[in-house]
A and B are shown apart, each in its own frame.
Chain A
Amino acid sequence: MAQRRMLMKGTEAIAEAAIRAGCHHFFGYPITPQNEIPEYMSRRLPQVGGVYLQAESEVAAINMLCGAGAAGVRVMTSSSSPGVALMSEGASYMVGGELPAVIVNIMRGGPGLGDIQPSQGDYDQMTRGFGHGDKHFIVLAPSTVQEAVDMMALAFDLADEYRNPCVVLGDGLIGQMMEPVTFPEPSERTFDRSWAATGKKPGQRRNILRSLFLDPEVLEKHVEKLFEKFKVMELKEQRYEAWMMDDAPPVVISAYGTTARIAKSAIRELRAEGHRVGLFRPISAWPFPVDGLATYVEQTRLFLGIEMSMGQMVEDVRRVVAGRRPVQFWGRTGGMVPTVEEIVAQVKERSAALGQ
C-alpha cells in the first residue's frame, strides 16, 4: 500500500507515530511546549481502543508507565525539561526492573522554570543525569519531523528489545514545526513478554518486577547484567549522520536536533562562498556515536560544537577527540535559537583564525 504524505505538526506526528507503533497507552501531565502530544492522544487513543490518562503529576505519570510497562504493553509519556526531571526517579526504577517504555522530552529553556522556548539544555540530563544509580537510556534526537516519526517506531522496538526505557529527545522547534510526513509500515517484530506481571500462570514461576536487591553481591551481579545490555547498545545502537564530510572539510560542526538543521543551512551558505565545512550530527545522543566521530578526527582541523545550550554535547565530542584537535563551542541558550547568519559568522571567524 502506498503511504500517504500528510502535513503534520511535530508533536502530533510524534503522537500518531507512537500509536501506529502499537502504543495504545499514554500517561502524562501537561507542560508547555509539548501539550499537543497529550491532547492528540486524548482524542485518538479512545478511537483505537487505547487508554489516555492524565496523571496528577509527572511523578505519577512515570510510575504509571512503570505499571503498564510491567504489565507488558507498549506505553509512553511525553513531557518537557522540568517535568522530565521529576520523572527521573521512576525512570531509574524502570531500568532496574527492566521495564520498557518510551519517554519523549520536548526540551525547553532552563534552569528552573526557565521559559517555554526551544532549548537543548537537557542533553546532560538525558545522557548522564536522568535517574540515580548505574544506568543508561538510549536517547534518540530527531532533527526533522519525519525523523521523529521514524524514531517513534524505532524507540518502541529498542525499548522492547533491551527491556529498558528509551528516550526521544526533541526541542520546542521540532514540536511546533509543520512538515509533510509519511508514516512507516508497522514493524513486524515481536517480543517475548513472558516476563510481564499479568497474573501467575498455573504451574509456572511467578513474575516479580523489581529493582531492589538488598544483598550487595546480588545487586552488583544485576547491575553487571544491565551493563552487558548497555555494552550491546553501545556496539549496535550508535547512530549519526555525517553530512558534507566526503571532501574531508577542515572545519566540522557538531550539532544535533534542530540546531543541526540550522547548521546545514549555514554550511550550504558557507560552501557557496567556498568554505569547506561539514556536519557531524549524532542521532543517538546515547550511545554517543563515538566510532563514527572517531573516523573524522584525523582529517579535521577544527571541531565546532553548536547547541542551544551553554555546551553539553560538546563534552562528548571532546571526549572522542581527546585533545588531538581543537574543539570549540558556540551556542545560544535561554530559548534563543541560533541563526544561520550567526553560525556563518562564527565559522568564518574561527576558520580565519585557523588560517583557512
Chain B
Amino acid sequence: MAEQVAFKRTSVLTDDYFHYCPGCTHGVAHRLVAEVIEEMGIQDRTIGVSPVGCSVLAYNYLDVDFVEAAHGRAPAVATGIRRTLPEDRYVFTYQGDGDLASIGMAEIIHAANRGEKITVIFINNAIYGMTGGQMAPTTLPGMRTTTSPNGRDTGLCGHPIRMCELLDTLVEPKFIARGSLSSPKLILKAKKLLRQAFDLQHSGFTFVELLSTCPTGWGLTPDNSLAWLERNMVPFFPMEVFREPGKMPPQATPYHPDLKVRDDAPKAEKKTEEG
C-alpha cells in the first residue's frame, strides 16, 4: 500500500523523552524549532543557547550544538557566539518569561538594540514553571500564583510586560512576532513565524514570542490550559507580526542627525593655513 507521511517526528529532535509535564506546550515549541532547522537543512550550522527555567535542558532534545547560559543571559551568550563564528551559522536562544522578561531584560533589550543576528524564541506562559509557579513579569492581573496568592496586584507589582511591543520601539530588529501554541492551527502558524525569523536571521535581530501553557503552574488540565490561554492571554498579548521587512512603526525608524557642527570646515582650513 502506497502511503505518504502526513506528520512525523523530526530527526532534529533527539530520541530523549521530554521531561516536561503532561500537556506542557514546551514540547510543541521544541518540535517546531527542530522542524524549522530540519527544513532549512541547517542542523550542522546551528548553535542553540539554552536558558534557566523549565527548558534548561533544551539541549537534551534539540540535536544541535548548544551552549548553556546563566539565568537571563542567553542573548549575551548568543552575542558572543554570533560575533565569533562565521556568518553562515544560525544562532538561537530559547528562553522563558522569567528568564527573558525579568532577570534578562537588559540582555534582551540590548541584543535587540544592537541588531544581533540571532533568533530569540520567547516562551511566555505567564508564570515561573520550574521554581514552582511563582509570579512572572508576564503574569496576568489578578492571576494567582504561589507568590501572588490573592492574584497579581497591579498596584503592588505593575502590569504584565508585553515584550514584542517593547522591542518594537527599537530600530534594529528585523522580525518581531507573537504566536500561540494553543491549537493545531495556531501551532502551524507559529511554525511559519519561526521559519520567517530563521530566514531573516542573517539580516538582523529576530524575535518570536510564543504563548505557551503551564498546566502544572496554572493548576489546570492540559485542555483547560489551552482554553484558558486563548481566553485570558491572547486579549492582553495579541497575536501579531509587529515587525517584518517593510513594516516599521514610525517611532522606530532610523534617525540620521547632522553631527558635523564642531569638526566643521573653518577648523580644517585653519590647519591648512598653519601647515
A242 interface contact, C-beta 8 A: no
Question: In this complex, which of B46, B63, B83 has the most chain A Cβ atoms within 10 angstroms of its Cβ?
Answer: B83
B159 interface contact, C-beta 8 A: no
A17 interface contact, C-beta 8 A: no
Question: Which B residues lie within 8 Å of A152 (CB)?
Answer: none
Q: A42-94: which residues lie under 8 A (CB-CB) from chain B?
A: 51, 53, 55-57, 59-61, 63-73, 75, 89-90, 93
Per-residue contact bits, chain A 21-60, to B (CB 8 Å; 1 contact, 0 not) = 0000101000000000000000000000001010111011
Chain B interface size, under 10 / 10 to 19 / 20 to 34 / 35 or more = 35 or more
* A64 and B80 contact, CB distance less than 8 A: yes
Question: Which A residues lie within 8 Å of B44 (CB)?
Answer: 199-202
* A64 and B76 contact, CB distance less than 8 A: yes
* B261 CB to nearest chain A CB (Å): 23
Q: How far, in whole Å, are A75 and B85 apart by their CA atoms in the complex?
A: 13
Q: Which residue of B lies closest to A60 (CB)?
A: B76
Q: B58-85: which residues lie under 8 A (CB-CB) from chain A?
A: 59, 63-70, 73, 76-85
* A35 CB to nearest chain B CB (Å): 19
B107 interface contact, C-beta 8 A: yes
* A89 and B83 contact, CB distance less than 8 A: no
A294 interface contact, C-beta 8 A: no
Interface residue from B65, B83, B106 paired with A206 (Cβ < 8 Å): B65
Number of A-B residue pairs, CB cutoff 8 Å, is: 134
Question: Which A residues lie within 8 Å of B78 (CB)?
Answer: 67
* B64 and A206 contact, CB distance less than 8 A: yes
Interface residue from B46, B57, B73 paired with A60 (Cβ < 8 Å): B73
* B80 and A70 contact, CB distance less than 8 A: yes
* B70 and A90 contact, CB distance less than 8 A: yes
* B115 CB to nearest chain A CB (Å): 12
* A207 and B106 contact, CB distance less than 8 A: no
* A199 and B77 contact, CB distance less than 8 A: no
Q: B176-213: which residues lie under 8 A (CB-CB) from chain A?
A: none
A345 interface contact, C-beta 8 A: no
Q: Which residue of A lies closest to B69 (CB)?
A: A63
Question: Which A residues lie within 8 Å of B68 (CB)?
Answer: 93, 97, 208-212
* B45 and A199 contact, CB distance less than 8 A: yes
Q: A60-B106, A208-B59 are in contact. Are A67 and B65 (CB under 8 A)?
A: no
Chain A interface size, under 10 / 10 to 19 / 20 to 34 / 35 or more = 35 or more
B43 interface contact, C-beta 8 A: yes
Q: Which residue of A lies closest to B77 (CB)?
A: A67
Q: A59-B73, A63-B77, A67-B76 are in contact. Are A51 and B106 (CB under 8 A)?
A: no
B135 interface contact, C-beta 8 A: no
Q: How far, in whole Å, are A90 and B109 apart by their CA atoms in the complex?
A: 19
Question: Which B residues lie within 8 Å of A70 (CB)?
Answer: 67, 77, 80-81
Q: How far, in whole Å, are A65 and B130 apart by their CA atoms in the complex?
A: 27
Question: Which B residues lie within 8 Å of A53 (CB)?
Answer: 79, 83, 114
B47 interface contact, C-beta 8 A: yes
Q: Which residue of A lies closest to B60 (CB)?
A: A208
* B70 and A199 contact, CB distance less than 8 A: no
Q: How far, in whole Å, are A56 and B109 apart by their CA atoms in the complex?
A: 9
Q: A60-B106, A206-B63 are in contact. Are A71 and B47 (CB under 8 A)?
A: yes
* B83 and A199 contact, CB distance less than 8 A: no
Question: In this complex, which of A60, A63, A210 has the most chain B Cβ atoms within 10 angstroms of its Cβ?
Answer: A63
A198 interface contact, C-beta 8 A: yes
Q: How far, in whole Å, are A212 and B76 apart by their CA atoms in the complex?
A: 18
A8 interface contact, C-beta 8 A: no
Question: Which B residues lie within 8 Å of A223 (CB)?
Answer: none
Question: Which B residues lie within 8 Å of A56 (CB)?
Answer: 106-107, 109-110
8 A-B pairs in the complex with CB atoms less than 8 angstroms apart: A53-B114, A60-B79, A67-B81, A89-B70, A93-B68, A198-B85, A208-B66, A209-B66
Instruction: Beyond A198-B65, A209-B68, A210-B68, list 14 extra A-B contacts (CB 8 Å).
Output: A55-B110, A56-B110, A59-B106, A60-B73, A60-B107, A63-B77, A66-B70, A67-B49, A67-B69, A71-B85, A197-B67, A199-B45, A199-B46, A211-B68
